Amino acid sequence: MDGRERPLVEAFVALADTLVDDYDVVEFAQELVEDCVALLDADSAGLLLADLRGGLQVLASTSEQTRLLELLQIQSDAGPCMQAYRTGQQVRIDDLGSDTSGWSDFVDRARAEGFGAVVAIPLRLRTERIGALNLFRREPGMMTDSDLLVAQALADVATIGILHQRVLTRGAVVNSQLQTALNSRIVIEQAKGVLAERQGLDMEQAFVELRTMARSSNRHLSETARTVIENSSGAFPAGNAPA
């Protein structure tokens, strides 16, 4: 492998370290998309997870514009992530400027946001598919085979992480636990809105502040988000966790 071997190994070790009984799925997914941007030829990333009805919801993203692109795919029921989830196969658009996929809404919005290429990686375990990972690049062009292999390996680790110790349980139990993770993401988005309004932040800054609060108090991101929402004022000094 190339000079990224050490950080890549560290990323896999860090992901493996989260596989304990009481880990935060949303934080786990957030670290995954950030690792993808740090380790691969990608400028932004997002992760979608299936809900109880088989629809996809945004679990993590590296930027607000990426999150909105993921939401657009969900709302239009079309795009590379949707196809990767449904087929279990990687989907590549090497040049959004000459794309012929038929996903005009997604392609137009992605280009307007300054992206030139995208790759969607399925989150799969054998025949089971639970979501998809989107990797966005500013410049058009093919992602290398090496990067594609690493991206799929990271996605596979994420799938195992999300389903760890659950793959032998009944599907209804697995779905219920996945739904809990998605519900946590909704709470996090609400808490971001509270912090953004109270502290005059944009949504990306609000998310950074929320994660800082969670880490400084050694609490789960979702738990911290609930405390922010429940707090009567909803405003906290920068970098401080709620009491």
Amino acid type, 44: S
What's the pLDDT at 53?
75
- Architecture of the domain defined by 5-168: 2-Layer Sandwich (3.30)
Run of H or E including 93: strand 91-93
- pLDDT tens-place string over residues 139-163: 999 999 989 999 998 898 888 877 7
The whole-angstrom separation of Cα 52 and Cα 157 is 22
Is the distance from CB of 61 to CB of 86 less than 8 angstroms? no
Going by the DSSP 8-state scheme, the letter that residue 100 receives in this structure is -
What are the start and end residues of each CATH 3.30.450.40 domain in the chain? 5-168
Q: Where does 113-144 have alpha helices with state H?
A: none
The tens-digit pLDDT sequence of the chain (243 residues) is 456 677 776 776 666 665 555 567 788 888 889 989 998 999 999 999 887 777 888 989 999 999 999 999 999 999 999 999 999 999 999 999 998 888 999 999 999 999 999 999 999 988 889 999 999 999 999 999 989 999 998 898 888 877 764 544 444 445 555 666 667 778 888 888 888 888 888 888 888 888 888 888 888 788 888 888 888 344 444 444 443
Is the distance from CB of 233 to CB of 197 less than 8 angstroms? no
What's the pLDDT at 179?
62
The whole-angstrom separation of Cα 73 and Cα 85 is 12
State residue 103 phi and psi, 5-degree precision. -90, 65
The whole-angstrom separation of Cα 212 and Cα 47 is 21
What's the pLDDT at 3?
62
Is the distance from CB of 132 to CB of 36 less than 8 angstroms? no
Look up residue 33 and give its two tokens.
Answer: 């998309």
* Alpha-carbon 155 to chain mean position: 10
What's the pLDDT at 112?
95
What's the pLDDT at 165?
45
Counting other chains too, the contacts that 97-105 makes at CB distance below 8 Å and 24 or more residues apart are 97/140, 102/78, 103/76, 103/78, 103/79, 105/72, 105/76, 105/78
Closest CA relative to residue 131, chosen from 72, 75, 83: 83
Q: How many CB atoms lie within 10 A of CB 128?
A: 14
Contact partners, residue 153, CB within 8 Å, separation at least 6: 12
Is the distance from CB of 137 to CB of 116 less than 8 angstroms? yes
